[in-house]
Amino acid sequence: MGVIDTVRASVLDHFGVPSADSAAVTFLGLESIEILRIPDGEYVHYVTLGGARHPMADPTATVVDPDRGPRAELVLTLRGRRGSQAGLTRALAVLIASPAVEGVVLQPDALLDLGEPLWHSAAFTAALLSVSDVPELSLPEPADPVRFLSVAPITATEAAWVRLRGAAALREAWAEADIDIRDPHRGPAKL
Protein backbone atom coordinates (compact mmCIF):
# COMPACT_ATOMS: atom_id res chain seq x y z
CA MET A 1 0.00 0.00 0.00
CA GLY A 2 1.40 3.42 -0.97
CA VAL A 3 1.73 6.42 1.34
CA ILE A 4 -1.43 8.11 0.04
CA ASP A 5 -3.52 4.95 0.38
CA THR A 6 -2.21 4.52 3.94
CA VAL A 7 -3.05 8.16 4.77
CA ARG A 8 -6.54 7.80 3.25
CA ALA A 9 -7.25 4.65 5.28
CA SER A 10 -6.05 6.32 8.48
CA VAL A 11 -8.18 9.45 7.92
CA LEU A 12 -11.32 7.45 7.08
CA ASP A 13 -10.75 5.28 10.16
CA HIS A 14 -10.29 8.37 12.37
CA PHE A 15 -13.61 9.85 11.22
CA GLY A 16 -15.33 6.46 11.31
CA VAL A 17 -16.46 6.41 7.68
CA PRO A 18 -15.90 3.76 5.01
CA SER A 19 -15.42 6.28 2.19
CA ALA A 20 -15.59 9.97 1.36
CA ASP A 21 -16.32 12.22 -1.57
CA SER A 22 -13.19 13.68 -3.10
CA ALA A 23 -11.95 16.07 -5.72
CA ALA A 24 -8.55 16.08 -7.41
CA VAL A 25 -6.48 19.11 -8.30
CA THR A 26 -3.41 18.99 -10.51
CA PHE A 27 -0.80 21.70 -10.93
CA LEU A 28 1.71 21.65 -13.78
CA GLY A 29 4.81 19.77 -12.67
CA LEU A 30 3.26 18.29 -9.50
CA GLU A 31 1.51 15.04 -8.70
CA SER A 32 -2.25 15.17 -8.24
CA ILE A 33 -3.61 16.38 -4.91
CA GLU A 34 -6.87 15.00 -3.62
CA ILE A 35 -9.22 16.70 -1.16
CA LEU A 36 -11.54 14.46 0.86
CA ARG A 37 -14.89 15.89 1.97
CA ILE A 38 -16.22 14.15 5.08
CA PRO A 39 -19.61 15.21 6.51
CA ASP A 40 -19.77 14.82 10.29
CA GLY A 41 -23.00 16.00 11.93
CA GLU A 42 -23.12 19.79 11.64
CA TYR A 43 -19.52 19.94 10.37
CA VAL A 44 -17.66 19.05 7.21
CA HIS A 45 -14.00 18.01 7.32
CA TYR A 46 -11.81 18.68 4.29
CA VAL A 47 -8.59 16.66 4.30
CA THR A 48 -5.76 16.89 1.79
CA LEU A 49 -4.10 13.79 0.33
CA GLY A 50 -0.82 14.33 -1.47
CA GLY A 51 1.32 16.45 0.82
CA ALA A 52 2.68 13.39 2.63
CA ARG A 53 3.82 11.76 -0.60
CA HIS A 54 7.28 13.31 -0.16
CA PRO A 55 9.07 14.78 2.87
CA MET A 56 9.29 18.56 3.11
CA ALA A 57 12.80 19.94 2.89
CA ASP A 58 14.62 23.15 3.60
CA PRO A 59 14.81 24.96 0.24
CA THR A 60 18.44 25.92 0.93
CA ALA A 61 19.55 22.30 1.48
CA THR A 62 22.04 21.07 -1.10
CA VAL A 63 21.09 17.42 -0.60
CA VAL A 64 17.50 16.32 -0.04
CA ASP A 65 16.78 12.96 1.58
CA PRO A 66 13.93 11.24 -0.32
CA ASP A 67 12.76 9.41 2.83
CA ARG A 68 13.60 11.46 5.93
CA GLY A 69 11.98 14.77 6.77
CA PRO A 70 8.63 16.06 7.98
CA ARG A 71 5.47 15.06 6.13
CA ALA A 72 2.10 16.74 6.50
CA GLU A 73 -1.52 16.82 5.39
CA LEU A 74 -4.06 19.55 6.14
CA VAL A 75 -7.45 19.28 7.84
CA LEU A 76 -10.03 22.07 7.59
CA THR A 77 -13.28 21.75 9.53
CA LEU A 78 -16.20 24.06 8.75
CA ARG A 79 -19.66 24.31 10.26
CA GLY A 80 -22.53 23.50 7.89
CA ARG A 81 -23.22 20.40 5.84
CA ARG A 82 -24.08 22.44 2.81
CA GLY A 83 -22.24 25.55 1.90
CA SER A 84 -21.10 27.74 -0.90
CA GLN A 85 -17.36 27.26 -0.52
CA ALA A 86 -16.70 27.16 -4.27
CA GLY A 87 -12.95 27.31 -4.81
CA LEU A 88 -12.06 25.80 -1.42
CA THR A 89 -10.69 22.61 -2.98
CA ARG A 90 -8.24 24.60 -5.11
CA ALA A 91 -7.18 26.77 -2.14
CA LEU A 92 -6.42 23.72 0.02
CA ALA A 93 -4.47 22.19 -2.86
CA VAL A 94 -2.42 25.41 -3.17
CA LEU A 95 -1.70 25.35 0.58
CA ILE A 96 -0.59 21.70 0.64
CA ALA A 97 1.49 22.21 -2.52
CA SER A 98 3.40 25.14 -0.99
CA PRO A 99 6.26 22.92 0.29
CA ALA A 100 6.91 21.61 -3.23
CA VAL A 101 6.39 24.98 -4.94
CA GLU A 102 7.80 27.48 -2.44
CA GLY A 103 9.94 25.33 -0.15
CA VAL A 104 7.72 26.07 2.86
CA VAL A 105 7.82 23.54 5.71
CA LEU A 106 4.30 23.19 7.11
CA GLN A 107 4.22 23.20 10.92
CA PRO A 108 2.07 24.42 13.80
CA ASP A 109 1.73 28.23 13.97
CA ALA A 110 2.72 28.60 10.31
CA LEU A 111 0.92 31.45 8.54
CA LEU A 112 0.10 30.79 4.88
CA ASP A 113 -1.17 33.81 2.98
CA LEU A 114 -2.93 33.21 -0.34
CA GLY A 115 -3.62 36.88 -1.00
CA GLU A 116 -7.04 35.93 -2.36
CA PRO A 117 -10.20 34.47 -0.79
CA LEU A 118 -9.93 30.85 0.36
CA TRP A 119 -13.27 30.29 -1.35
CA HIS A 120 -15.63 32.39 -3.45
CA SER A 121 -16.67 35.54 -1.57
CA ALA A 122 -14.94 34.48 1.67
CA ALA A 123 -13.46 37.13 3.96
CA PHE A 124 -10.52 34.81 4.64
CA THR A 125 -7.32 35.18 2.60
CA ALA A 126 -4.86 33.28 4.80
CA ALA A 127 -4.60 30.22 7.00
CA LEU A 128 -3.07 29.61 10.40
CA LEU A 129 -1.93 26.04 11.06
CA SER A 130 -2.09 24.12 14.33
CA VAL A 131 -1.93 20.50 15.46
CA SER A 132 -5.03 18.59 14.36
CA ASP A 133 -7.11 16.09 16.33
CA VAL A 134 -6.23 13.51 13.66
CA PRO A 135 -3.39 11.49 15.19
CA GLU A 136 0.07 11.36 13.66
CA LEU A 137 0.50 8.43 11.26
CA SER A 138 3.65 6.32 11.47
CA LEU A 139 5.14 5.14 8.18
CA PRO A 140 7.60 2.29 7.61
CA GLU A 141 11.22 3.16 8.43
CA PRO A 142 13.11 5.21 7.44
CA ALA A 143 10.22 7.58 6.61
CA ASP A 144 9.17 10.15 9.19
CA PRO A 145 5.53 10.09 10.34
CA VAL A 146 2.74 12.12 8.73
CA ARG A 147 1.46 15.02 10.85
CA PHE A 148 -2.04 16.32 10.34
CA LEU A 149 -2.28 20.09 10.70
CA SER A 150 -5.52 21.92 11.33
CA VAL A 151 -6.28 24.91 9.08
CA ALA A 152 -7.92 27.99 10.59
CA PRO A 153 -9.12 30.41 7.89
CA ILE A 154 -8.14 33.97 8.84
CA THR A 155 -8.70 37.48 7.49
CA ALA A 156 -5.95 39.81 6.24
CA THR A 157 -6.24 41.80 9.49
CA GLU A 158 -5.84 38.64 11.56
CA ALA A 159 -2.84 37.62 9.43
CA ALA A 160 -1.24 41.01 10.12
CA TRP A 161 -1.90 40.47 13.84
CA VAL A 162 -0.13 37.08 13.69
CA ARG A 163 2.88 38.71 12.00
CA LEU A 164 2.97 41.42 14.66
CA ARG A 165 2.03 39.54 17.85
CA GLY A 166 2.24 35.84 17.02
CA ALA A 167 -0.22 32.97 16.63
CA ALA A 168 -0.86 32.61 20.37
CA ALA A 169 -2.08 36.23 20.60
CA LEU A 170 -4.62 35.64 17.82
CA ARG A 171 -5.87 32.45 19.47
CA GLU A 172 -6.26 34.37 22.76
CA ALA A 173 -8.29 37.07 20.94
CA TRP A 174 -10.55 34.37 19.46
CA ALA A 175 -11.06 32.79 22.89
CA GLU A 176 -11.83 36.16 24.56
CA ALA A 177 -14.37 37.01 21.83
CA ASP A 178 -15.82 33.46 21.84
CA ILE A 179 -15.19 33.12 18.09
CA ASP A 180 -15.84 29.76 16.45
CA ILE A 181 -13.16 29.52 13.79
CA ARG A 182 -15.12 26.69 12.15
CA ASP A 183 -17.90 29.14 11.23
CA PRO A 184 -17.42 30.00 7.55
CA HIS A 185 -19.41 33.23 8.02
CA ARG A 186 -17.70 34.51 11.16
CA GLY A 187 -16.40 38.02 11.41
CA PRO A 188 -12.79 38.90 12.19
CA ALA A 189 -11.54 39.11 15.75
CA LYS A 190 -11.57 42.63 17.18
CA LEU A 191 -7.86 43.31 17.51
According to DSSP, residue 137 is labeled B
29/183: higher pLDDT:
183
Model pLDDT, residue 63: 75
Model pLDDT, residue 119: 94
Whether the model clears a pTM of 0.75, i.e. scores above it, the answer is yes
Rg (alpha carbons) of the chain, rounded to whole number: 16
Model pLDDT, residue 81: 62
Model pLDDT, residue 64: 73
| Beta strand extents in 26-110 (DSSP E only) | 33-40, 43-49, 71-79
Our separate counts of H helices and E strands in the chain read 4, 7
Strands 33-40 and 43-49: antiparallel
Per-residue pLDDT band at 65 (split at 50, 70, 90) = confident
Residue 82 has pLDDT above 90, yes or no: no
28/154: higher pLDDT:
154
What are the tens digits of pLDDT across the range 92-150?
Answer: 999 999 998 888 899 999 999 999 999 998 999 999 999 999 999 999 989 999 999 99
Q: Is 147 exposed, middle or buried (0-12, 13-18, 19+ CB in 10 A)?
A: buried
| Residues in CB range of 139: below 8 A, 6 or more apart | 3, 6, 71, 145, 146
180/1: higher pLDDT:
180
Model pLDDT, residue 84: 59
CA distance 118 to 153: 8
Coil, helix or strand at residue 20? coil
Residue 83 has pLDDT above 60, yes or no: no
93/191: higher pLDDT:
93
Using an 8 Å Cβ cutoff, are 20 and 36 in contact? yes
